[in-house]
């Protein structure tokens, strides 16, 4: 099946749909109500923990109505469906990309290319974690606030990471659409060399 498949185009659309899936993961932020910060209830994380231990109860500064609860539940289902969609899109990419590399590079260079492509998945996971740590230091609304990341009411811009990843994946997947179905090297490597 992989031999008859236009592998670069398949990988391109796989990346594009994965990027769309990441953008959908950020959708719950735009459809669910964002808690409004009340300066009277703004407390430091340490003081919140100490008051919790002393009073044996957690102070609640936000009261959600039934509509917001339904919106939050819908947000969870949207993210779950988006993650499943991303998994379906990204599943076949590794074996197909491995076959594509094997068919388009000299046999002596295949191991070198795979030794580069293999660790990229590990490095990309680390880079995503670093990106997550950066966006969590930005307030969820991207607006200036008196809250600090150490405050109990702080909510980081979790959705921003999904938007950045989605745009980057789509951007880097688009060039694969113009790749040829078959590399010229693949066409010529099977042609026997003529004797002198």
Question: Residue 148: left (phi > 0), alpha (psi -120 to 50), or beta?
Answer: beta
> What pLDDT was estimated at residue 87?
93
Domain limits at 26?
7-34+65-119+157-179
* Residue 189 lies inside a defined structural domain of this protein: no
pLDDT tens per residue, the chain (196 residues)? 556 678 889 999 999 999 999 999 999 988 877 666 554 444 444 454 455 445 544 444 444 455 556 667 888 899 999 999 999 998 888 888 888 888 878 888 888 888 888 888 788 888 888 998 899 899 888 888 888 888 888 888 899 999 999 999 999 999 988 888 776 655 555 555 455 4
pTM above 0.75, yes or no: no
* Residue 140 lies inside a defined structural domain of this protein: no
| Closest to 24 measured CA to CA, from 90, 68, 85, 70 | 85
* Residue 170 lies inside a defined structural domain of this protein: yes
* Residue 40 lies inside a defined structural domain of this protein: no
> What pLDDT was estimated at residue 68?
58
* Residue 141 lies inside a defined structural domain of this protein: no
φ/ψ (deg, to 5) at 44: -80, 150
> What pLDDT was estimated at residue 2?
53
Q: Check: CB of residue 34 under 8 Å from CB of residue 139.
A: no
Token reading at 93: 């990419």
What whole-number distance in Å separates Cα of residue 179 and Cα of residue 182?
8
For residue 10, how many other CB atoms are within 10 A of its CB?
17
* CA end-to-end distance (rounded Å), the chain: 39
* Residue 138 lies inside a defined structural domain of this protein: no
Domain count within the chain:
1
* Residue 187 lies inside a defined structural domain of this protein: no
* Residue 2 lies inside a defined structural domain of this protein: no
């Amino acid at each position: 099946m992989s031999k008859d498949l236009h592998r670069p185009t398949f990988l391109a659309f796989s990346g594009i749909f994965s990027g769309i899936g990441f953008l959908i993961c950020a959708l719950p932020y735009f459809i669910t109500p964002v808690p409004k910060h009340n300066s009277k209830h703004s407390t430091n994380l340490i003081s919140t923990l100490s008051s919790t231990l002393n009073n044996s109860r957690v102070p609640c500064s936000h009261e959600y109505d039934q509509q917001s609860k339904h919106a939050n539940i819908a947000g969870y289902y949207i993210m779950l469906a988006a993650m499943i969609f991303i998994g379906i899109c990204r599943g076949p990419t590794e074996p197909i990309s491995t076959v594509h590399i094997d068919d388009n590079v000299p046999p002596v260079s295949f191991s070198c290319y795979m030794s580069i492509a293999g660790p990229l998945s590990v490095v990309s996971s680390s880079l995503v974690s670093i990106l997550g740590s950066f966006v969590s230091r930005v307030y969820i609304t991207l607006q200036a606030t008196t809250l600090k990341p150490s405050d109990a009411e702080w909510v980081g811009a979790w959705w921003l990471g999904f938007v950045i990843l989605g745009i980057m994946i789509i951007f880097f997947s688009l060039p694969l659409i113009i790749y040829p179905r078959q590399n010229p090297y693949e066409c010529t490597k099977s042609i026997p060399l003529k004797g002198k």
